[in-house]
C-alpha cells in the first residue's frame, strides 16, 4: 500500500459532481499503488517481460518496480519508463494513418521524452520529429533521453511556443501534451496534491490557450493536433477544445476504441475526446482529443542556409563505415564535430537550425582531434551504428554497472583502440583500450551515482 492521499475538498466536490455515483470507486483507486509500466525500444533488444498494454504494441505492465537506475538496459535505451495511459497516443497515430508516410511532427512540450521517444518509434523512417522544451534544464534531459533512444531523424529545440511563428504551415502533426494542474498524477506523485488549487486550474487553462494560439498557425491545412493533459478538469480539457473550435476552423476526430479498454468516450456537442480514470483503466488520469485543421494555411517556403559543410571525401570514406546504410545519410562537419542527418531531411534540419534554438540536430558521430576522430557517445547508442566496424567488449552485469558509474574496467586481452561496451547485446558506450589500461569514455554527467 501507499501512504493515503488526502484530496483537496474543492477537488472532491468537483469530481463528485463530475462522476456522480461512480465517484467512490475513483477515490478508492487513488489509495492503491500505481501500476509500473515501460515501453520497449523496437530497434533495440531488451529482456524485460510483463503483461501487454492493450493500446501500445511495445508497452508492458511490470509485476514489480525494479531498480531502474541500476538496469543497464535503461541507460542503453532498451526501454523507457512511461505511464501507461499516455501510451494511448499510439492508438491515435495508427488510427489516423500517421505511421506509414513521411511526416513533419512537432512534440511541443517534449521533456522528459516519453511521448517523443514513442512518436519517433511509430513514424515512417523518412519522417522528421522536432521535439521542444521551453525550460533549459528539462531540455537537457530531453536531449539525453532522445540520444539514448538512438533515432537520427530528430531535432531537439529549446524554445517558447511563440518562437515557432516563422514556421507557418510547416508541420503535419503537432502533439501538445499541455502543462496542466496534474490531477491525474495525485496517486503517482502525492506531492502534486499540495500544489493544487482551483486558481491553479484556471491559470493552467489560460496558459494552455496561449500555447494553442501560438502554435496553431504552424499546423498545415488538414494537419492534426493531438491535445492531451494528465488532469480531469474540464476547464483544461473540453472547454479548451471548445475555445479552439469556436475561434478556428477545425473538427475533432472520433477514434475506434475497443469497449474492453474501459476508456471513457467524451462527447459534448461536436467535441469528441477520450478520458482515462484509474478505477476503470490500469493507469493514471489522462485526457486526449485529436483535432483536424480544416482552414487553409499558408506554408512557409524553405530556403536553406548552410552553416556546416559536407564532410570531405577522405572523411566520408572513413566515417561511412560507421553507418549501417551510409547512403541514407548526409555527413556534415561543424566546429570540429562531425554529425549525420537523414539525407531526406537534411535541408529541412539545416533550415530549422537557422530559426530555432537547436540543442541537438541529427546524431553527433565524432569530434575531430588533429588527424583523427574520437567517437561520440551518441554514435554508440544510435540505431544507425554499424557494430561490425568496431571491436566490442562484452561485460557482466556488475561490470556494466561499474562502467555506468564511470569506474575502471579491468584490462584484458583486446585489440587497442576505441571499443564498444556491450551488455546482453545492448551497446552502453565507448572505452579506449590502451596497452595497460582501459579508459572509460562514458559521459561524466550521465553516470549513475550509487550501486
Residue 258 CB partners (closer than 8 Å, separation 6+): 54
- For 221, other C-beta atoms within 10 Å of its C-beta total 14
Residue 206 CB partners (closer than 8 Å, separation 6+): none
Q: How far apart are CA 20 and CA 28, in angstroms?
A: 14
C-beta separation of 244 from 270 below 8 A:
no
DSSP string for residues in 6-73: ---HHHHHHHHHHHGGGHHHHHHHTTSPPPEEEEE-TTS------EEPTT-TTEEEESS---GGG-HH
What is the SS3 assignment for 226? strand
- 349, 348, 439, 427: which is closest to 392 by C-alpha? 427
- CATH architecture assigned to 391-451: Roll (3.10)
Give the pLDDT of residue 413. Answer: 67
Ranges under pLDDT 70 in the chain: 1-3, 304-316, 411, 413, 450-451
Give the pLDDT of residue 436. Answer: 85
- 208, 229, 203, 205: which is closest to 284 by C-alpha? 229
In degrees and rounded to multiples of 5, residue 267 shows phi and psi of: -130, 115
With vertex at residue 122, the alpha carbon angle to CA 85 and CA 330, rounded to the nearest 5 degrees, is 140
Checking phi first, is residue 181 left (phi over 0); if not, alpha (psi -120 to 50) or beta? alpha
Residue 192 CB partners (closer than 8 Å, separation 6+): 182, 183, 185, 186
CA dihedral 326, 103, 165, 334 (to 10 degrees): 0
Question: Residue 327 gets which letter from DSSP?
Answer: G
Give the pLDDT of residue 410. Answer: 83
- 357, 362, 358: which is closest to 345 by C-alpha? 362
C-beta separation of 232 from 285 below 8 A:
yes
Alpha helices by DSSP H, 248-335: 313-319
Q: Which cell goes with 252?
A: 475533432
Residue 317, classified by CB atoms within 10 Å of its CB into exposed (0-12), middle (13-18) or buried (19+), is exposed
What distances in angstroms separate CA 209 from CA 103, 178, 196, 242, 416, one per listed residue? Answer: 25, 10, 19, 11, 57
Q: How many CA atoms lie within 13 A of 332 on its CB side?
A: 20
Give the pLDDT of residue 451. Answer: 59
Give the pLDDT of residue 225. Answer: 98
CATH number given to 9-293:
3.40.50.150
Q: Structural domain boundaries of the chain?
A: 9-293, 391-451
Using the structure block, give the residue that is written with the C-alpha cell 487553409.
296
Residue 75 CB partners (closer than 8 Å, separation 6+): 148, 404, 428, 446, 448
Amino acid at each position: 500500500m501507499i501512504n493515503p492521499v488526502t484530496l483537496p475538498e474543492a477537488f472532491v466536490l468537483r469530481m463528485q459532481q463530475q462522476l456522480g455515483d461512480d465517484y467512490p470507486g475513483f477515490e478508492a483507486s487513488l489509495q492503491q499503488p500505481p501500476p509500473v509500466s515501460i515501453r520497449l525500444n523496437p530497434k533495440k533488444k531488451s529482456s524485460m517481460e510483463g503483461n501487454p498494454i492493450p493500446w501500445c504494441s511495445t508497452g508492458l505492465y511490470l509485476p514489480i518496480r525494479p531498480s531502474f537506475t541500476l538496469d543497464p538496459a535503461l541507460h542503453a535505451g532498451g526501454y523507457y519508463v512511461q505511464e501507461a495511459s499516455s501510451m494511448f497516443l499510439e492508438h491515435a497515430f495508427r488510427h489516423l494513418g500517421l505511421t506509414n508516410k513521411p511526416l513533419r511532427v512537432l512534440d511541443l512540450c517534449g521533456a522528459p521524452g516519453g511521448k517523443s521517444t514513442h512518436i519517433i518509434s511509430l513514424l515512417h523512417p523518412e519522417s522528421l520529429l522536432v521535439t521542444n522544451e521551453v525550460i533549459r534544464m528539462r531540455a537537457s534531459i530531453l536531449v539525453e533521453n532522445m540520444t539514448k533512444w538512438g533515432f537520427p531523424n530528430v531535432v531537439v529545440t529549446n524554445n517558447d511556443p511563440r518562437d515557432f511563428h516563422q514556421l507557418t504551415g510547416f508541420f503535419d502533426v503537432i502533439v501538445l501534451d499541455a502543462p496542466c494542474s496534474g490531477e491525474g498524477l495525485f496517486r503517482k506523485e502525492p506531492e502534486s496534491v499540495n500544489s493544487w488549487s482551483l486558481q491553479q486550474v484556471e491559470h493552467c487553462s489560460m496558459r494552455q490557450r496561449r500555447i494553442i494560439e501560438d502554435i496553431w498557425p504552424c499546423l498545415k491545412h488538414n494537419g492534426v493536433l493531438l491535445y492531451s493533459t494528465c488532469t480531469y478538469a474540464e476547464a483544461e480539457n473540453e472547454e479548451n477544445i471548445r475555445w479552439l473550435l469556436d475561434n478556428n476552423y477545425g473538427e475533432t476526430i472520433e477514434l475506434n476504441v475497443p469497449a474492453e479498454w474501459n476508456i471513457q468516450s467524451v462527447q459534448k456537442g461536436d467535441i469528441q475526446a477520450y478520458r482515462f480514470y484509474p478505477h476503470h483503466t490500469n493507469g493514471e488520469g489522462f485526457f486526449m482529443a485529436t483535432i483536424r485543421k480544416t482552414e487553409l494555411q499558408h506554408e512557409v517556403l524553405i530556403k536553406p542556409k548552410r552553416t556546416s559543410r559536407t564532410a570531405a571525401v577522405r572523411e566520408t570514406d572513413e566515417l561511412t563505415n560507421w553507418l549501417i546504410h551510409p547512403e541514407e545519410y548526409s555527413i556534415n562537419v561543424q566546429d570540429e564535430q562531425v554529425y549525420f542527418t537523414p539525407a531526406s531531411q537534411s535541408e529541412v534540419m539545416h533550415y530549422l537550425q537557422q530559426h530555432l534554438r537547436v540543442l541537438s540536430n541529427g546524431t553527433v558521430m565524432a569530434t575531430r582531434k588533429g588527424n583523427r576522430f574520437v567517437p561520440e557517445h551518441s554514435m554508440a547508442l544510435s540505431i544507425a551504428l554499424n557494430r561490425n566496424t568496431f571491436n566490442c567488449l562484452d561485460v557482466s552485469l556488475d561490470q556494466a554497472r561499474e562502467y555506468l558509474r564511470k569506474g575502471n574496467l579491468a584490462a584484458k586481452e583486446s585489440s587497442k583502440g576505441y571499443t564498444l561496451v556491450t551488455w546482453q547485446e545492448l551497446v552502453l558506450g565507448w572505452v579506449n583500450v590502451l596497452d595497460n589500461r582501459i579508459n572509460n569514455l562514458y559521459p561524466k554527467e550521465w553516470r549513475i551515482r550509487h550501486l
